[in-house]
Homo-oligomer: A and B are copies of this chain.
Amino acid sequence: MSHNTFGHLFRVTTFGESHGPALGCVVDGCPPLIPLEAADIQAELDRRKPGQSRFTTQRREPDEVRILSGVFADDRTGGQQLTTGTPIALLIENTDQRSKDYSEIRDKYRPGHADYTYDVKYGIRDYRGGGRSSARETAARVAAGAIARKVLPAVTIRGALVQMGPHRIDRANWDWEEVSRNPFFCPDAKAAALFEDYLDGIRKDGSSVGAVIEIVAEGVPAGLGAPIYGKLDSELAAALMSINAVKGVEIGDGFAAAELRGEDNADQMRLGNQGAPHFLSNHAGGVLGGISSGQPVVCRFAVKPTSSILTPRETVTRYGADADVLTKGRHDPCVGIRAVPVGEAMVALVLADQFLRHRGQVGESARWPFDV
C-alpha cells in the first residue's frame, strides 16, 4: 500500500475528486479468464450509491461504471466477456456536482475534516465537496472490490451495521437476510426499527452519529497471510482503517480479548467429520499468527460521526483568523451506513491479493497438514 495504490499482486489504484469530472480506478494483476461484465460491478456500486433513503446524502449520483480495458469477448468466448490479465480501468463520471458558493469551506477549516491537514501537507486542496478526501472516493473501492470477489468465488463476504451511536444490535436476532431489508444494513430487525427513530432525530437536529460495522468472510481457505509484515490481520486493519472516518479496527474478539484469560481465549480444536480440524469457537476471528485458519474471518471497524453538521463550530481560517463554521449541504447523518459495502470491498481486496501472493509463494496444491 502506498499513496493511492492498494495491494501487491492484485493491485488497485484509485483516482478522482468529489467534484472533478470523474473518479475511477485501475485494477492490475487480475487473473485472466474470469467472466466480468459492467453489470457485476454496478450491482455492488448500487448498494453504496447515495440518495437511496432519507438517511444518506441527497446527492444524486447514478455512479454508472464503464470498463475501459482489460476485458475481451468474441465468438470464441461465446460472447462472454472475460478478463485478459491486463489492467482493468473503471470510470465513473461525476454528474451531480451542484454549483454552489464554496467560500465558506474554501477558507475555513471544518473541524474533524481533512481541510487543514491537506492544506498543511500540500499547500493547496480541491475544497469542492471535500475533494480527494471525500467519501465519494470509496465508490472506486467498491467497484474494484466487485472484481476481487470474482477472484475468490467460493468466499462469501458480507457486512452488517452492528451499532449506531450508543445502540447495539442484539446478536441473538442476527439474520443476514434482514440486512437488505432495511436502509441500515442492519441484521437485527428490531434494532433497525430503533435505528430509524434514533437517526431521524439526529437528522432533524442537523447532527450526526457514529457506527460500528462487522464484516464476515466465510469460505476463506486456510493458509492466507504473509507473516511477519504482510499478516492477513495486519492488512485487514490497514484496509479498514483507510476508509474515511474509521477510528478503530478489531479482529475476532478484538479489544474484548484483553479482558480474557488464556483458558477462555484460545480456540480449541477437534477433528471434524471430513477429517479436517474443527474449531470449537472463533475468538481469533479466523486468523492465527497472521494466517487464515479456515474459520470465518471476522472483523469490525468503528466509524466516527460525520463531521459535517449544522451546529456552528469554532475554527480558524486559512489566513490565520478565528472563525465559526457550519456545514450546510448534502451529508450522511451516519456515514457508517454506506461504509458497509465499502468495508466488504476492502476485505475482498485484501483476500484476493493475499490469495494470489500465497499461490505465488506456495503454489496451488493444498498443504494438507496431516499427510506430510
Set of chain B residues within 8 Å of A306, measured between Cβ atoms = 262
Set of chain B residues within 8 Å of A126, measured between Cβ atoms = 72, 84, 86
By the criterion CB–CB under 8 Å, are B320 and A362 in contact? no
CA distance A238 to B280 in the complex (A): 28
By the criterion CB–CB under 8 Å, are A89 and B133 in contact? no
Q: How far is the CB of A29 from chain B (nearest CB, A)?
A: 5
By the criterion CB–CB under 8 Å, are B66 and A116 in contact? no
Q: How far is the CB of A226 from chain B (nearest CB, A)?
A: 5
* CB of A231 within 8 Å of the partner chain: yes
Q: A254-B247, A258-B210, A268-B313 are in contact. Are A68 and B238 (CB under 8 A)?
A: no
* CB of A120 within 8 Å of the partner chain: yes
By the criterion CB–CB under 8 Å, are A87 and B15 in contact? yes
* CB of A277 within 8 Å of the partner chain: yes
**Of listed A87, A126, A228, A358, residue having the most chain B CB within 10 A:** A228
Interface bits A226-268 vs B (CB < 8 Å: 1, else 0): 1111110111111111101011111111111111111111111
Set of chain B residues within 8 Å of A114, measured between Cβ atoms = 227, 288-291
Set of chain B residues within 8 Å of A82, measured between Cβ atoms = 124
* CB of A16 within 8 Å of the partner chain: yes
* CB of A32 within 8 Å of the partner chain: yes
* CB of A345 within 8 Å of the partner chain: no
| Residues of A in contact with B, size category | 35 or more
Set of chain B residues within 8 Å of A309, measured between Cβ atoms = 262-263, 266
* CB of A314 within 8 Å of the partner chain: yes
Q: For chain A residues 175-192, which have a beta carbon within 8 Å of chain B?
A: none
Q: For chain A residues 40-68, which have a beta carbon within 8 Å of chain B?
A: 66, 68
By the criterion CB–CB under 8 Å, are B302 and A72 in contact? no
Q: A113-B288, A114-B288, A291-B118 are in contact. Are A257 and B265 (CB under 8 A)?
A: no
Set of chain B residues within 8 Å of A239, measured between Cβ atoms = 234
Write the chain B residue with the least CB distance to A364.
Answer: B364
Set of chain B residues within 8 Å of A365, measured between Cβ atoms = 364
* CB of A225 within 8 Å of the partner chain: yes
By the criterion CB–CB under 8 Å, are B116 and A369 in contact? yes
* CB of A344 within 8 Å of the partner chain: no
Set of chain B residues within 8 Å of A238, measured between Cβ atoms = 1, 229, 234-235, 237-238, 241
